[in-house]
Amino acid sequence: IWTDTDVTAPIVRYNKVYNNQWKGIYIELTSDAQVYYNIVYDHANKEGISLRGGDGEEANCDDNKIYNNISYNNLEGIRVWTNGDCEGDCISGNLIKNNIAIGNTDFELRVRGDADNDGVHSTGNIFTYNCFGAEAADFIEWGTDTFFATYDLWQAADGCGAGVCTNQAEADPLFVDAAGGNFALKFGSPCINTGTDNGDNYRWGFDPRDPTFPYDLLDNRLYGDHEIGAFVYVRRYEISKRIKDMYLKMGLGLDLSQPLSCIIQY
């Protein structure tokens, strides 16, 4: 999915984008795009999600909203960049929040070519409440050819810091079965209840109880705070109590002197 050169406020939402020869979702020279609740995976040659600002007389890449996407098993997870020779401010005000980028070959996050809030070509690019997995060698590039192996070092870099690169889920997101294409969250995932509410337009995520795409949607506000990623986590409540009368009426041959457990999911 490619918006190329000053497309007017496009919306890219609720897609599965996978196994293509080039990039997955590419917001190029485009501003005011909304990209949310997409699952992008298996792009061996390029990025899952990419934003590029203009060089020379090309259009800018400003004020895009990239929320609650999953980028998995691509060459790079999320890239925000220019070719390094933009004139003036060309890639600013982009909000990258509640995304999961994990299992990508080269980088989970790559921000280069003046896109790292250098104060000249870019300002106000925000990368909060994401999950880039456990720390690893060079898993993040921030500034051309500047690589980071820990969240703390990255968050201390120029243009990063509090309110810009903080509040990350710093561990494996615990997908149900990523290899099998199921990117819902398991119990215990660090992405459950650790996202941020980006407003009414972005509250509806995928329902993990729907086994086939296109998935049903579910309100992210039902069970507390928002999730990171594209799926709402549906709570499971285990209730233990005596249900003797019910089982007697059903004629079941159980040891009714002991408490029984019932798991209710909704």
At residue 95, does pLDDT exceed 50?
Answer: yes
> Whole-number mean pLDDT of the chain?
91
SS3 content of the chain, % helix, strand, coil (to 5): 5, 30, 60
Q: Are 34 and 11 in contact (CB under 8 A)?
A: yes
The residue-averaged pLDDT of 90-95 equals 97
Tokens 């019932």 appear where? 262
Per-residue pLDDT at 253? 53
Total Cβ atoms within 10 A of residue 17: 21
Distance, first Cα to last Cα, the chain: 34
Per-residue pLDDT at 266? 43
Q: Return phi, psi of residue 99, to 5°.
A: -100, 155
Per-residue pLDDT at 252? 56
Per-residue pLDDT at 130? 99
Per-residue pLDDT at 249? 57
With H, G, I as helix, E, B as strand and everything else as coil, classify residue 178.
helix
Per-residue pLDDT at 241? 42
For residues 260 and 174, what is the distance between their CA atoms, to the nearest angstrom?
A: 30
In which band, very low, low, confident or very high, does the pLDDT at 176 lie, cut at 50, 70 and 90?
very high
**Which is more confident, 114 or 134?**
134
In which band, very low, low, confident or very high, does the pLDDT at 190 lie, cut at 50, 70 and 90?
very high
Q: Is beta strand 107-112 parallel, antiparallel or unpaired with respect to 76-81?
A: parallel
Instruction: Tell me the per-residue pLDDT of 27-38, one tens digit each, with 9 for 90 and over.
Output: 999 999 999 999
Per-residue pLDDT at 147? 98
Per-residue pLDDT at 238? 43
Whole-number Cα distances in Å, 87 to 5, 50, 70, 117, 154: 16, 20, 32, 15, 26
At residue 246, does pLDDT exceed 70?
Answer: no
In which band, very low, low, confident or very high, does the pLDDT at 248 lie, cut at 50, 70 and 90?
low
Total Cβ atoms within 10 A of residue 217: 15
At residue 251, does pLDDT exceed 70?
Answer: no
The pTM of this model reads 0.89
